[in-house]
Amino acid sequence: MSSPPSAAERYLAIRRPLEVGYWLITCLLSAVGNSATVWIDVQRAGLGSAQWEVVSWEAGSALALLALVPATVWFTARWPVHLDTWWRRLPLYALASVVWSLLHVGLMVGIRKAVYALHGAQYSFDDAYLYEYLKDVRTFLGIVVVLHGYRLLLRRLQGEASLLAAPDDGAAPVEPVERPERFLVRKLGREFLVAAGDIEWVQASGNYANLHVRGKVYPLRSTLADLQTRLDPARFVRVHRSHLVNVTRIASIEPLDSGDARLHLDDGTVVPCSRRCREALRAATGA
């Protein structure tokens, strides 16, 4: 009898809707809270702005931020920051903050202009970009920190794979890292080994390669190309620019009219196979 799923496994099963809900609720609370405080400031200063104007300012900013979340998530996953590489990423993230702010301001101003037009008024942004950037760069940095911290926690929950390293006394590695038979997985303070042959398929994810093993996903800090050179070429074949598959796990191959194919694995998983990789797959499977 299998053990019941842990709290971490239950969370991982529903994390996508919770992630979406987090951003929706965060932006909603930001719009409501900022609208309330700005309205109080407007009333105190006697500026005479209408309540709908204040709401359009803050709601427009929050909606623009929400629209940029998918791109920000993709960017930070594609070029993650690590303790040993942060200084190389710094110029890229500095440039990204400028682009992020330009997009945020453009979307925000567009929303405000649309709301003002509906009220028969005209919105003027003037020349306030530097002011907005000084606010946006802090917001962008905060989002980057949240995303990296969340991903680090997620890797700890689901387990993070690594190659078996050399012992502390400087002796040779436990096994040749050029062709490892096992990977070390650290999960919530525990360590266990995963046999290379148990890996069903691998998917590239930024600077990580996600190892899929018996329904679990273990991120390994490696490019897909580098990992491919370390795995048995008779068993693991590149079937897509972002996928490796263990050919012993393929149950059937479904050709498509485009020349591509779908690989149906024995656990029901479907993995894409590009047309240019079909020949390598045929050579490995004899199909």
CA dihedral 163, 79, 73, 136 (to 10 degrees): 140
Pick the range with the lowest mean pLDDT from 57-61, 116-120, 191-195, 199-203.
191-195
Q: Which residue has the tokens 């390598």?
A: 280
Q: What is the pTM of this model?
A: 0.78
Q: What percentage of residues in the chain have a pLDDT greater than 70?
A: 92
Angle at 245 (CA atoms; ends 191, 256), nearest 5 degrees: 150
How high does pLDDT run on average in the chain? Answer: 88
Range 226-232 average pLDDT: 88
Q: How far apart are the first and last CA of the chain?
A: 37
**Per-residue model confidence (pLDDT) at position 54:** 95
CA-to-CA separations, 55 to 19, 77, 101, in angstroms, rounded: 25, 33, 20
Q: How many CB atoms lie within 10 A of CB 235?
A: 16
Return the bridge partners of 253, or none.
263
Range 13-27 average pLDDT: 94
**Per-residue model confidence (pLDDT) at position 34:** 95
Q: Which uninterrupted H or E stretch holds 246? A: strand 243-246
